[in-house]
Amino acid sequence: MFKNYHFTSPERFMRYVQIDTQSDPQSDTHPSTEKQKDLSFLLANELQQMGVADVHTDEFGYVYATIPSNTGKQVPVLCFCSHVDTAPDCSGTHVKPILHKNYNGGDIVLPADSSQVLKLHDHPNLRQHIGYDIITASGDTLLGADDKAGVAIIMDMAHYFITHPELKHGTIKILFTPDEEVGRGTAKLNIEKLAANYCYTLDGGEAGSLEDETFSADAVSIIIHGSIVHPGYAKNRLVNAIKIAGEIVDALPKDRLSPETTEGREGFIHPVRIEGSAEQASIDFLIRSFSEDGLQENTKELRNLAETILQSYPKAFLEFVVKEQYRNMKEMLEKHPHVVRYAEEAIRRAGLTVKKESIRGGTDGSRLSFMGLPCPNLFTGMQAIHSKLEWIGIKTMQKAVETLVHLSMIWEERSERHLS
């Protein structure tokens, strides 16, 4: 099916990564950085030129577009989604992508910083790309494959369908979001405007990987109120909130329930910020688990631990504030098992082995799933993300395009009901 097709995703990818779209967690605006719109506008233009219908961007930096159905069947509306922003962890300014033709398995020293060396030993997935082309940055920035690979793949899929009208599919919505990396990718999303039934994010890693499960996540703030008097006359009267905060942190489990001691399906309690004075101190925590029960248990353990410590300080008190962050998408996907099943089939049709994975984090898909759009995450090929050694194999990007084309066609094949 793809024999004589010239994949446009690698060339698109090389262009898109050169546009700085870093998001900013400190900003309160939507989008968090205005420059993300530079890519959004470019994508909207390219979609329009391609002949995709109904293309528009909004003031928040979202791009919406539609590839109209070309079948007589009534097929659920699919959405393919990726994010235009890159991670704040690493510079995204003046990204200079380098195409390494016919990778030979040797070390790649990145030219702008010779301490940045991509080695097969540290990145075993490179082995699958020996003899094929890979792309890296130049050593002083990230590459931005997360998630411009996803963007380029979706654009190529659109290009493929537009140039192959004989292939049957239902209505396909294209969605590009800002600010995923700062957790606000769906904050200003107009879900009515999108009008899709099911969604797939293109924001995953190695070839064939399919993520249908994320953490469930809450944030907890513990605010400790001490009792303050002049320190010269404080005997038996002063209670120092900073010291209580220190005790709470010290009492956290040390050999379990922390990010640094857990993996796989284990959750954790993770202090991320501490701030305060002798009078009042606060600690922020991330609470994570794959199940709702686990999440509640971890929260309860933290609360018990803090309250036990407070018992030694009758003059002090604490506030324990829980904020919901996101929930495991699996809960929603299990109600629509064909969403994942069709994706598995599409990956196999593209000639790959399915690797089902759980994300020890959240995605826009977790939120979308709970907004009524069940949304697993598909591979793009991105590797070593959020770092200067970020790289991607072109072969995998092309397989992702094939997977999306197969997936759209599978949904059409399985839809029986004809429009009258």
Catalytic residues: 85, 180
Q: Which is nearer to Zn ion, 88 or 294 (CB)?
A: 88
**CA 209, 210, 212, 214: dihedral to nearest 10 degrees?**
30
Distance CA 389, CA 142 (A): 7
Residue 23 contacts residue 85 (beta carbons within 8 Å): yes
Residues in contact with 218: Cβ distance below 8 Å, sequence separation at least 6, in sequence order: 286, 287, 295, 299, 322, 323, 324, 325
Instruction: Give DSSP secondary structure letters for 290-340.
Output: SSHHHHHHHHHHHHHHHHHHHTT-TT-EEEEEEEEEE--THHHHTTSHHHH
- Whether the CB-CB separation of 214 and 362 falls below 8 Å is answered with yes
Q: Which of 20, 46, 146, 213 binds Zn ion (CB under 5 A)?
A: 146
Sign of CA pseudo-dihedral 47, 58, 362, 388: positive
Order the strands of the 377-379 sheet from edge to edge: 53-57, 63-67, 172-177, 78-83, 198-204, 377-379, 209-214, 355-359
DSSP letter for each residue of 170-201: --EEEEEES-GGGT-TTTT--HHHH--SEEEE
Crossing angle of helices 145-163 and 394-414, rounded to 10°: 50
> Do 136 and 118 touch, CB atoms closer than 8 A?
yes
Three-state SS at 8: coil
Nearer to Zn ion, 146 or 390 (CB): 146
Can residue 364 be called a binding residue for Zn ion (CB under 5 A)?
no
- Tell the smallest beta-carbon distance from residue 382 to Zn ion (Å): 8
Q: Which two tokens stand for residue 72?
A: 């007589």
Nearer to Zn ion, 86 or 216 (CB): 86
At its nearest, how many Å lie between Zn ion and the CB of residue 83? 6
Considering only the stretches 33-41, 200-208, 252-260, 322-330, report the one whose residues sit in contact with Zn ion under the rule CB under 5 A. Answer: 200-208
Q: How far is the CB of 82 from Zn ion (least distance, A)?
A: 8
Nearest to Zn ion of 211, 345 (CB atom)? 211
- Using CA atoms, how far apart are residues 151 and 164, in angstroms rounded to an integer? 20
Of 147 and 390, nearer to Zn ion (C-beta) is 147
**Least distance in Å: CB of 195 to Zn ion?**
24
Report in angstroms how near the CB of residue 281 gets to Zn ion at its nearest. Answer: 34
Measured distance CA(385)–CA(4) in Å, rounded: 31
Q: Which stretch binds Zn ion (CB under 5 A): 134-142, 144-152, 208-216, 284-292?
A: 144-152
Instruction: Establish if 203 lies at the interface with Zn ion (CB under 5 A).
Output: yes
Q: In terms of CB distance, is 144 or 226 closer to Zn ion?
A: 144
Q: Which stretch binds Zn ion (CB under 5 A): 59-67, 113-121, 142-150, 314-322?
A: 142-150
Nearest approach, Cβ of residue 146 and Zn ion (Å) = 4
Which residue stretch of 198-206, 260-268, 402-410, 411-419 sits at the interface with Zn ion (rule: CB under 5 A)?
Answer: 198-206
Q: Is 179 a binder of Zn ion (CB under 5 A)?
A: no
Least Cβ distance, residue 339 to Zn ion (angstroms): 20
Q: How many residues bind Zn ion (CB under 5 A)?
A: 3
Is residue 70 within 8 A of residue 168, CB to CB? The reply is: yes
Do strands 391-393 and 216-225 pair parallel, antiparallel, or not at all (unpaired)?
Answer: unpaired
- Which CB atom, from 189 or from 281, has the smaller least distance to Zn ion? 189
Which among 49-57, 62-70, 201-209, 294-302 is the span making contact with Zn ion, rule CB under 5 A? Answer: 201-209
What are the helix (H) ranges across 129-257? 145-163, 191-194, 241-251
| Identified binder of Zn ion from the candidate list 85, 147, 179, 218, rule CB under 5 A | 147
Residues at the contact surface with Zn ion, assessed by CB under 5 A: 146-147, 203
